[in-house]
Amino acid sequence: MHSSVIFDSALLQKYPARGPRYTSYPTALNFTPKFGKPDLLKAIEQSNNKTLSLYVHIPFCHKLCYYCGCTKVVTRLQSKADVYLDYLIKEIEIQAQYMGHKPVTRVHLGGGTPNFLNDIQLKRLMNGLKKHFNFTTDAELAIEVDPRDMTCERIDTMADMGFNRLSIGLQDIDPKVQEAINRVQSTELIEALVTRAKARNFRSVNLDLIYGLPFQTPESFANTLEAVHKMQVERVSLFSYAHLPERFAAQRKLPADALPNAEQKLVLMRLAIETLCSYGYQFIGIDHFALPTDELAKAQHNKTLTRNFQGYTTEADSDLLGLGVSAISAIGDSYSQNHKDLNGYYYSIEHDKAAPEKGLVLSKDDHIRQQVISDIMCNLTVDKAAISLKFGIDFDKYFADELGKLRPFIEDQMVVNLSHAICIAYKAQLLLRHVCMVFDVYLGLATRQKFSATI
């Protein structure tokens, strides 16, 4: 499939609304404080999933990037991480009592900046996890890193600890853009990190890119894409910068008048998609690219791709336990989220034995819609017959209203509604979130405004 099939500027301008990224359904905005520890324990007990994935959130960063919308604490004080680890290890011990028997097939350290932890702190964390959980021998151990806190020797240390997947925030290599976003970093160092990770047999390296940043031009961004090409990484993630200064104070520091407008952003996005596809990457879902030899590309081909809070993944039918401040879990029939501020998180570990701040138990309707939305986001096809059979419904009757709302998409030849399936055309690939929104029963106007722009 050629990348130009995906990019239809008339359609992209016609459907400019904001929308969820559907890393879960229902989305985190629908979690409620009514969900408590007893609900979590019940979900753990009732879960049929045989394996476990762990997500560990490290919230600290040494320096503030002005575009950032993540949950993080900016500090130079390394000792804050020691205190955090005290609580994190306690949480690991508590949760392992309930889930420690399941084989752990994946661990993902995200942030914040996981490599804010120095080698001793990182070792302490990994030893704590390995002591209390049962890692499989081929478990995937992934870590996100900020290159400004990295050296090639740290790659060696991470490899020795068992890490085999690496994700680096490249964003943009242009000095003017880096200055404006307060993230000045060396491309040569990033190249050296990638080379070292390959030499140490990391299974894959991912680079994150962002388009829509101040001072970005097609010419400057082409240089960033060229740098990606040179590094020959297995995966690339391409994110649209969402300017929401009313929600994220850091973004007020960006020179707003230097931000590309909507039209310029489309040009940057098109450039990135076409260039990456011309380099041989397969476009995955809405924002990922993978070389055809990579597991993500294979999963897309085999229609086994799935989606969780870290984006696209190949791991289905696994419980996800989130550890650390703000971390989200997806266990059995439930979603739950830890406290989002450090003090609340510490209090919950100390007094409530790691009670989540909020969450929800999925109803049957949630499960049905979750399946539809996952099929759209991952496979571009909704198998009506399979869903009817799985959930004991008549798909066309159950979704009579929603199928009516698909009419504009059908008229724009983005969607075909067949008797046995809904098929999404490649030209709608950048607008998958819009198609999903038709099936999202929680999506009112009030919540819609909280989401980032889909492009």
Question: Whole-number minimum distance, CB 388 to ligand SF4, in Å?
Answer: 43
Asked if 440 touches ligand SF4 (CB under 6 A), the answer is no
Pick the closest to residue 324 from 305, 345, 344, 343 (CA basis). Answer: 345
Question: Whole-number minimum distance, CB 161 to ligand SF4, in Å?
Answer: 21
Residue list 406-435, contact with ligand SF4 (CB under 6 A): none
Taking CB under 6 A as the criterion, the residue among 111, 212, 260, 324 binding ligand SF4 is 111
Please tell me the distance from the alpha carbon of residue 80 to that of residue 75, in angstroms, as a whole number. Answer: 8
For residue 112, say if its preceding peptide bond is cis, omega within 30 degrees of 0: yes
Please tell me the distance from the alpha carbon of residue 286 to that of residue 312, in angstroms, as a whole number. Answer: 9
Shorter beta-carbon distance to ligand SF4: residue 64 or 393: 64
Q: How many CB atoms lie within 10 A of CB 195?
A: 15
Please tell me the distance from the alpha carbon of residue 226 to that of residue 170, in angstroms, as a whole number. Answer: 12
Residue 39 tokens read as 């609900």
Taking CB under 6 A as the criterion, the residue among 3, 53, 113, 275 binding ligand SF4 is 113
Shorter beta-carbon distance to ligand SF4: residue 248 or 347: 248
DSSP-assigned letters across all residues of 387-448: HHHHHT--HHHHTHHHHHHTHHHHHTTSEEE-SSEEEE-GGGGGGHHHHHHHH-TT--HHHH
Residue list 5-24, contact with ligand SF4 (CB under 6 A): none
Pick the closest to residue 12 from 406, 428, 450, 413 (CA basis). Answer: 428
Question: Whole-number minimum distance, CB 429 to ligand SF4, in Å?
Answer: 26
Shorter beta-carbon distance to ligand SF4: residue 138 or 246: 246
Shorter beta-carbon distance to ligand SF4: residue 77 or 418: 77
Shorter beta-carbon distance to ligand SF4: residue 65 or 436: 65
Question: Whole-number minimum distance, CB 61 to ligand SF4, in Å?
Answer: 3
Question: Whole-number minimum distance, CB 237 to ligand SF4, in Å?
Answer: 13
- Residue holding tokens 């492009």? 455
Question: Whole-number minimum distance, CB 146 to ligand SF4, in Å?
Answer: 5
What own/partner pairs with CB < 8 Å and gap ≥ 24 does 132-138 have? 132/92, 132/93, 132/96, 132/100, 133/52, 133/54, 133/92, 133/96, 133/99, 133/100, 133/104, 134/100, 134/101, 134/102, 134/103, 134/104, 135/103, 135/104, 135/107, 135/162, 136/51, 136/103, 136/104, 136/105
Residue list 51-110, contact with ligand SF4 (CB under 6 A): 61, 64-65, 68, 70, 72
Question: Whole-number minimum distance, CB 67 to ligand SF4, in Å?
Answer: 7
Spell out the residues 6+ positions from residue 422 whose beta carbon is closer than 8 angstroms to its own: 376, 381, 382, 384, 406, 415, 416
Encoded one letter per residue, x for contact with ligand SF4 by CB under 6 A and - for no contact, window 128-157 reads ------------------x-----------
Among the residue ranges 111-119, 129-137, 341-349, 357-365, the one whose residues contact ligand SF4 (CB under 6 A): 111-119
Shorter beta-carbon distance to ligand SF4: residue 253 or 367: 253
Taking CB under 6 A as the criterion, the residue among 112, 114, 128, 356 binding ligand SF4 is 112
Kindly state the number of chain residues that form the binding site for ligand SF4, as judged by CB under 6 A: 10
Question: Whole-number minimum distance, CB 38 to ligand SF4, in Å?
Answer: 33
Classify 343 as helix, strand or coil: helix
Shorter beta-carbon distance to ligand SF4: residue 92 or 145: 145
Question: Whole-number minimum distance, CB 249 to ligand SF4, in Å?
Answer: 12
Question: Whole-number minimum distance, CB 99 to ligand SF4, in Å?
Answer: 27
Classify 139 as helix, strand or coil: strand
Secondary structure element (H or E) that encloses residue 369, with its range: helix 364-379
Give contact residues for ligand SF4 (rule: CB under 6 A).
Answer: 61, 64-65, 68, 70, 72, 111-113, 146
